[in-house]
Amino acid sequence: MGSSTATISELTKANEAVADLSEKTHAEIAKLGKRRVKVAAPVRKLQSDLERVRAAIGKSAGIVEDIAALKAQRRKEAGTAFAEERPADTTRLDAEIRKKEAALAVARTEDEAAQAALPLIKQRLEQARIAAVAEAEQIDAAVARLLKTVTESENHLIDEAIRFVCERARRAAAYEDAASHFSVEAEDVRDWPTSNYAVWAALDSNRFRPLRGDGFDDRILPDWKADRDMLIKKIEAAGVPSIPRGMKANRWLSNGAPNPVPYLPTDMQ
């Protein structure tokens, strides 16, 4: 749509185009939304790895405490047996201690591996967070651009619709004014595509019936011409063109009377 007021057809096409743009835009935004959710997936995985490594580091310390407690219990049992002058039975405790010591060896191996992996995981996690933030910002910017485009299109369509309604109201007022001046219905004037056609419509009123053909009365011609010029100015003020495209004006007959066929196609000139 250009700078001039849009037509109903142009507004309809523009409305369909904006609706199509809006549908495609929101579909694209939905895709970007899904992509944005996936952006945090690497960060969540590395965070889980970090927690697992930290848990592995603390596990060996817990086993050491368990072994110390079992050994203390074994010493207590041995002391009680010595006081009672009987042999100490620490078979069960010895088995528990050996089991815990074996688990401690595995835990320490895992602990050392976790200690070595911890800095690398932290580094990768920080890099993943930075990348995720950057990608999320890019996605947010893309969504903002899409929303801006569709919003501007919708606002432009609204502006054109408002201009159309205002122009229709302005023209309707001009038609009503011209019609009342020539004592005809506004619809009879509005239905003509140009101001000159509106003049010929006005000629059909009883007021100017003597001017249409036989019995032309040149005594009232000056008054009629003044009214005609006034009508043309009023109608053209509403933005209606004077001469249809591809037509040639031929408004008057040689005797000064209105020409019943005021326009000729260009190819008939």
Residue 162: which CATH number? 1.10.287
pLDDT in tens, 40-76: 889 999 999 888 888 877 777 788 888 888 888 888 8
pLDDT higher than threshold 60 for residue 235: no
Q: Which two tokens stand for residue 266?
A: 């260009």
pLDDT higher than threshold 80 for residue 30: yes
Q: Do both 107 and 48 map to the same domain?
A: yes
Pairing of strands 247-249, 263-265: antiparallel
- The runs of H, that is alpha helices, within 40-90 are 41-83
Total number of domains in the chain: 2
Classify residue 229: in a domain, yes or no: yes
Query: What is the amino acid identity at position 154?
Result: E
Write down which residue in 169, 190, 215 finishes a domain: 169
- Highest mean pLDDT: which of 35-39, 57-61, 111-115, 239-243? 35-39
DSSP 176: H
| Averaged pLDDT, 5-32 | 82
Classify residue 177: in a domain, yes or no: no
Q: Do both 122 and 229 map to the same domain?
A: no
Q: Do both 208 and 101 map to the same domain?
A: no
Nearest 5°: phi and psi at 58?
-80, -15
Computed over every residue of the chain, the mean pLDDT equals 69
Percent of the chain with pLDDT over 90: 8
In this predicted structure, which of 40-44, 78-82, 106-110 has the lowest mean pLDDT? 78-82
233 vs 113: which has the higher pLDDT = 113
Q: Do both 194 and 162 map to the same domain?
A: no
Cα 105 from Cα 93, distance rounded (Å): 18
245 vs 23: which has the higher pLDDT = 23
Classify residue 37: in a domain, yes or no: yes
Q: Do both 164 and 194 map to the same domain?
A: no
Q: What pTM does this model have?
A: 0.47
Q: Do both 55 and 137 map to the same domain?
A: yes
| Averaged pLDDT, 192-207 | 41
Q: Do both 218 and 264 map to the same domain?
A: yes
| Averaged pLDDT, 179-193 | 48
Q: What is the pLDDT of residue 234?
A: 56
Question: Which residue range is the domain that position 155 belongs to?
Answer: 8-169
Q: Do both 162 and 192 map to the same domain?
A: no
Q: Which two tokens stand for residue 160?
A: 């054109």
The answer to whether 135 touches 143, Cβ cutoff 8 Å, is no
Q: Do both 33 and 150 map to the same domain?
A: yes
Q: Do both 263 and 136 map to the same domain?
A: no
Classify residue 198: in a domain, yes or no: yes
Q: What is the pLDDT of residue 6?
A: 62
Confidence band for 150, pLDDT divided at 50, 70 and 90: confident
Classify residue 3: in a domain, yes or no: no
pLDDT higher than threshold 60 for residue 199: no
Q: What is the pLDDT of residue 175?
A: 56
| Averaged pLDDT, 17-29 | 88
Q: Do both 25 and 131 map to the same domain?
A: yes
